[in-house]
Each structure stands twice: as C-alpha cells, then as structure tokens.
Amino acid sequence: MIISAKSESRVYHMPGCRYAEMIKEENVMYKKVKWAIKRKYRPCAWCFSTEGILHREKAAVEQYLKNTGYEMENRDHVLYIRGQAGFWKLVYNEESTGFTLFHGNRAEKVTVEEAEAVGYHRQGDAPIHTSVLETCRYIAKHDEAKKILSMGSYRDLPRSTQKQREYYNSARKKDRIRGIRRVEDLFRQLEEGSSMKRYSVC
C-alpha cells in the first residue's frame, strides 16, 4: 500500500515516510502501487532511495546484522554487506524501485574498508528486492547453501521450494562434472607417466 495526496504533485510514498506525514489528513489517499503507476505518479525521492528504505527498516536490519554477525556499510548510497561467503553490493535502481544485487566472492579476508575494491558480478538468480531486510535474508540463504556445499555434499541441500530444487540440481550437475574431470585428470597423469607419488603428498 502507498500514500498519496489529493493534489497536482502526483507523488506517492511508503507508509511511515516523513513527507507522507506532512500531507493534511483530509488530503490523504491510501492506494495500491499499481493504482499510482497506472496514473503515472512518481515515487517519492526519499522513501524510494537507499537511505529512505534503510531508515524505515533500521531497527529490523540492525537486529538482523546482530543475529547473523554480518557487517554493513553505506557508501555513496551503495550498501556493502559482508556475509559468510564474501561481500555483497546493493545498488538501488530507481526504475525498478529495488536493489540490484552484486556478489564479490573469494573476499573472506577483506575488511569492510576495502569492500569497494572487491570484484563483483551481478547475482543472476537474485530477484529485485525492494527491502534491505529481504535482501539480507536472500544473502543468508545463499551463504547457508554455500556452507553446506563446502562442508559436505549437494545431497544435504534443502529441496522444499522450487528455487532450492533448482540450486540442488545445478550443484549436482557441477559435482558430476567435477567428478568426471577428476577421473580425466587422473588418467592424463597416468598416461603422461607421472608418478602416483604426487597424490600421496598433496
């Protein structure tokens, strides 16, 4: 649900926005986002921004970071989150009114101060989240799956949702390819006549 004013300004706000609270009570309209978009209303520049969203979710996000041990930094409207599997970069996109998620893996030893220097790639399977908290939850799920894979096997991954089954299948495929490669490498080594001693010392 969004809030707008019966005026020519044609701007809509999220509940709790400081500017929405300035609208006179008799002028307040409560509508669905679809209603506003259809009439070409513009999203408010404060409540639909990194800072505005963060401000709205402050307590919940802080609690979440405390529980998970994740760290967050806001630099020039870009949020950097250090999770268990490297860094994440949340870039707010005005067009989609949500965060585009980028992942920088192999960055476990990098400090939050160095977060900008990490190489990032777009996290392809991540949906556009309109909330920082939702994005944090996505990151935690991703990290959990990574942890299971690093400790054991894809067989331990959860398979209750469609997304989880897709991840399971791709992990299984990767595992098979790895298995085939290992055998191929072994044969290549044997054919090249290199000694088996290598395997006992590595």
The nearer residue to Zn ion, 38 or 42, going by C-beta atoms, is 42
CB of 47 to Zn ion, least distance (A): 3
- Pick from 39, 44, 38, 49: nearest CA to 3: 44
Residue 48 CB, shortest distance to Zn ion, in Å, is 7
19 is an interface residue for Zn ion by CB under 5 A: yes
Closest distance of CB 105 from Zn ion, Å:
35
From the CB of 75, what's the least distance to Zn ion, in Å? 23
Contact between 3 and Zn ion by CB under 5 A: the answer reads no
Cβ-proximal residue to Zn ion, closest one? 44
Stretch that binds Zn ion, among 19-27, 32-40, 100-108, 141-149 (CB under 5 A): 19-27
Distance CA 11, CA 42 (A): 5
Nearest distance in Å: CB 76, Zn ion: 21
Contacts of 132 (CB under 8 A, 6+ apart): 53, 54, 57, 61, 79, 90, 99
Q: Which two tokens stand for residue 44?
A: 């408010």
Compute the least distance from the CB of residue 44 to Zn ion, in Å: 3
Q: Mention every residue, 6+ apart, whose C-beta is less than 8 A from residue 87.
A: 80, 81, 103, 104, 107, 110, 115, 118, 120
# residues near Zn ion by CB under 5 A: 6
Of 29-58, binders to Zn ion (CB under 5 A) are 44, 46-47
Among 2, 5, 17, 107, binds Zn ion (CB under 5 A): 17
- Among the listed ranges 15-23, 75-83, 165-173, 180-188, the one in contact with Zn ion (CB under 5 A) is 15-23
Q: 148 and 157 in contact (C-beta within 8 Å)?
A: yes
According to CB under 5 A, which one of 2, 4, 5, 13 is a site residue for Zn ion?
13
Alpha-carbon gap, residue 52 to 131, rounded angstroms: 10
Is there binding between residue 2 and Zn ion (CB under 5 A)? no
Alpha carbons 5 and 177: distance in angstroms, whole number? 58
Binding interface with Zn ion (CB under 5 A): 13, 17, 19, 44, 46-47
